[in-house]
A and B are shown apart, each in its own frame.
Chain A
Amino acid sequence: DQQVKQNSPSLSVQEGRISILNCDYTNSMFDYFLWYKKYPAEGPTFLISISSIKDKNEDGRFTVFLNKSAKHLSLHIVPSQPGDSAVYFCAASAFTSGTYKYIFGTGTRLKVLA
Chain B
Amino acid sequence: DTAVSQTPKYLVTQMGNDKSIKCEQNLGHDTMYWYKQDSKKFLKIMFSYNNKELIINETVPNRFSPKSPDKAHLNLHINSLELGDSAVYFCASSHLSGGRHEQYFGPGTRLTVT
A interface list, Cβ under 8 A from B = 32, 34, 36, 41-46, 49, 87, 89, 93, 97-104, 106-107
Q: How many A-B residue pairs have CB under 8 A?
A: 55
Q: Which 6 A-B pairs have the closest CB atoms?
A: A43-B105, A46-B102, A104-B43, A99-B55, A44-B105, A32-B101
Measured between alpha carbons, how far is A41 from B108 in the docked complex, in Å? 7
B10-57 contacts to A, CB under 8 A, are: 33, 35, 40-45, 48, 50, 55-56
**Interface of B toward A, CB cutoff 8 Å:** 4, 33, 35, 40-45, 48, 50, 55-56, 90, 92, 96, 101-108
| Cross-chain contact A43 with B102 (CB below 8 angstroms) | no
Q: A41-B107, A41-B108, A99-B96 are in contact. Are A106 and B42 (CB under 8 A)?
A: yes
Residue in chain A with minimal CB distance to B44: A104
With A99-B56, A100-B96, A101-B56 as known contacts, state yes or no: A45 contacts B105, CB within 8 Å. yes
Q: Are B41 and A106 in contact (CB-based, < 8 A)?
A: yes
List residues of chain B with CB within 8 A of the CB of A106: 40-42
Closest A residue to B50 by beta carbon equals: A99
Give the dominant DSSP class at A's interface: strand
- Per DSSP, chain B at the interface is strand
Which listed residue (A98, A101, A107) contacts B45, Cβ 8 A? Answer: A101
CB < 8 Å neighbour of B108 from A36, A42, A45, A100 = A42
With A43-B90, A46-B104 known as contacts, the answer to whether A102 contacts B45 (CB < 8 A) is yes
Q: Are B105 and A49 in contact (CB under 8 A)?
A: no
Residues of A within 8 A of B40 (CB): 106
Extra contacts besides A44-B105, A93-B101, A97-B55 (16): CB < 8 Å? A32-B101, A34-B103, A45-B105, A46-B102, A46-B104, A49-B101, A97-B56, A98-B55, A99-B50, A99-B96, A101-B45, A102-B33, A102-B45, A104-B42, A104-B44, A106-B41
